[in-house]
Amino acid sequence: MYHGDGLWGEASFDLFLRELPPDHGYAIAAGIEPAIDDVLAMRFGSEEVAWLQSLPMFRGASPHFFESLRNFRFAGTIRAVPEGTPVFPGQPIMTVTAPLPQVGLVETRLLQRVGHATAVATRASRICAAAHGRAIIDFAARRCADSRAAMDLARAAYIGGCAATTYGAAAARFGIPGWAVISESLAAAYGNELAAIAALRLHFPGHCHVNLPGMNITRGPRQLALMKDDVRTVRLVHANLAAASRQLRNELDRASMHRTRILGSGSLDEYQIASLVRAGAPLAMFGVGGALATAATDVRPSLSYRMAEITRGLEPMPVTGAGGAAWPGLKQIVRLPDRDLMCLEAEHLAHAYPDAIELLSTAISGGERVREAPGLDDIRRHCDVHLDALPVEVRHLRKPGAWRVQPSDALAELVVRG
């Protein structure tokens, strides 16, 4: 339609958080750098163009439209918050400015990559907060639909605070610490669990993380006692982890395995982990799979992609009302110690406040990257610092306090005029 009606001018769209899930005081923006890479790599192959040409609805389309797809290269600008930043409803996580026919083509990819990763990073941060310093291991890869989803999940979970992943491909690609317990297939191959553990101990000394043999709290530690100096971690799966972990701790200590840690797992989420920590369960770490894998469906932060500004003639016009972004115009988020100030980009209000941080910066200009993508550890540190800077009540797992987001006078006036 844009091609057919000659709407070639630029428009700006905000990708923003529409609302927070229940009991959430914040969301962690993630998936931004992979999404930017997707936009820059986006192409339409000859088979895809031919398929579109075969559809009845496109029979009247101009040949120039199909030629524009064959030659598609994103030519616009993307401004974004740093990945790992806590964000709140209405704030642009990304703003895409490009010719109108292009700006809509990237919508689905941005919503997919940023939406999924933001959900996982947010859930991971809550789970890690509930653990109060105990390590969270990402066990979610086997629950993902495919390898890319597992990659994105492991990356986002690490940004949100997970200490390691059991997905070796993600550990290799992103430099995330890898972690694993002995598998049931190894036990089957070696004939029994103890033989498999002995082989693990031989070939990987110092990395002997094992399931509790037979999941028997009394007999298992006795069977491991001969290897007590090498068994670093014992994984415990139990419906009552608090009581079972105390019993297991006693049995391990009785077998002189004082340095062996207990990893608790089994359908855990942030609320269950918080309860175990409050109960003083002697669990040094937790393995979490399902709660991370279902973050994008169970408690997904709701994202929208809406027009904030459009150029008509020579002048950019802010978009207000139905179909528009949460706030009109090109904006900046100024983070202050006690609130966020939403303002128009042209206002440059950060200079008026001490300790102010402008969150949105240009990542792509004219279809080219203008800032280097930060490393994953830098993103994780950024997340830690900015999350810790939020008031404790905003980070509560239940009934969190609200972070104040205040519009500037100029932005508020635009809304009133619209």
Q: Are 329 and 300 contacting, i.e. CB atoms less than 8 angstroms apart?
A: no
329 and 278 in a single domain? The answer is no
Can you name the residues that pair with 263 across neighbouring β-strands? Answer: 235, 285
Give the CATH number, domain containing residue 192.
3.20.20.70
Distance, CA of 16 to CA of 325 (rounded, Å): 8
175 and 254 in a single domain? The answer is yes
142 and 282 in a single domain? The answer is yes
Name the nearest CA neighbour of 276 among 401, 127, 122: 127
Tokens of 2: 């844009």
Count of domains forming the chain:
2
What letter does residue 176 receive in the DSSP assignment? P
- Is residue 124 in a domain? no
Cβ neighbour number for residue 313 with a 10 Å cutoff = 7
Name the nearest CA neighbour of 302 among 13, 70, 22, 3: 22
**Which pLDDT does position 1 carry in this prediction?**
47
Name the nearest CA neighbour of 332 among 359, 314, 357, 309: 359
**Which pLDDT does position 197 carry in this prediction?**
82
249 and 305 in a single domain? The answer is no
**Residue-by-residue pLDDT tens, the chain, 418 positions:** 454 455 567 999 999 999 999 999 999 999 999 999 999 999 999 999 999 999 999 888 888 889 989 999 999 999 999 999 999 999 999 999 999 889 989 999 999 999 999 999 999 999 999 999 999 999 999 999 899 999 999 999 999 999 999 999 999 999 999 998 877 777 788 878 888 888 888 888 777 888 888 889 999 999 898 888 889 999 999 999 999 999 999 999 999 999 999 999 999 999 999 999 999 999 999 999 999 999 978 877 889 999 999 987 778 899 987 789 999 999 999 999 999 999 999 999 988 898 999 999 999 999 999 999 999 999 999 999 999 999 999 999 999 999 999 999 999 998 877 6
Beta strands in 56-186 (DSSP E): 77-80, 86-87, 92-99, 135-138, 164-165
- The domain in which residue 151 lies consists of 132-297
- Is residue 204 in a domain? yes
What letter does residue 283 receive in the DSSP assignment? -
**Which pLDDT does position 7 carry in this prediction?**
54
200 and 274 in a single domain? The answer is yes
Can you name the residues that pair with 342 across neighbouring β-strands? Answer: 333, 407
Distance, CA of 114 to CA of 96 (rounded, Å): 14
Distance, CA of 305 to CA of 112 (rounded, Å): 11
Domain limit, last residue, from 278, 297, 316: 297
- Is residue 2 in a domain? no
- Is residue 226 in a domain? yes
Give the CATH number, domain containing residue 86.
3.20.140.10
Distance, CA of 132 to CA of 148 (rounded, Å): 30
Distance, CA of 317 to CA of 323 (rounded, Å): 14
109 and 137 in a single domain? The answer is no
Can you name the residues that pair with 193 across neighbouring β-strands? Answer: none
- Reduced to 3 states (helix: H, G, I; strand: E, B; else coil), residue 77 is strand
- Is residue 127 in a domain? no
**Which pLDDT does position 188 carry in this prediction?**
82
Name the nearest CA neighbour of 125 among 357, 397, 364, 416: 397
**Which pLDDT does position 52 carry in this prediction?**
92
CB-neighbour burial class of residue 398 (10 A; exposed 0-12, middle 13-18, buried 19+): exposed
Q: Are 277 and 264 contacting, i.e. CB atoms less than 8 angstroms apart?
A: no
251 and 138 in a single domain? The answer is yes
Tokens of 149: 């989803």
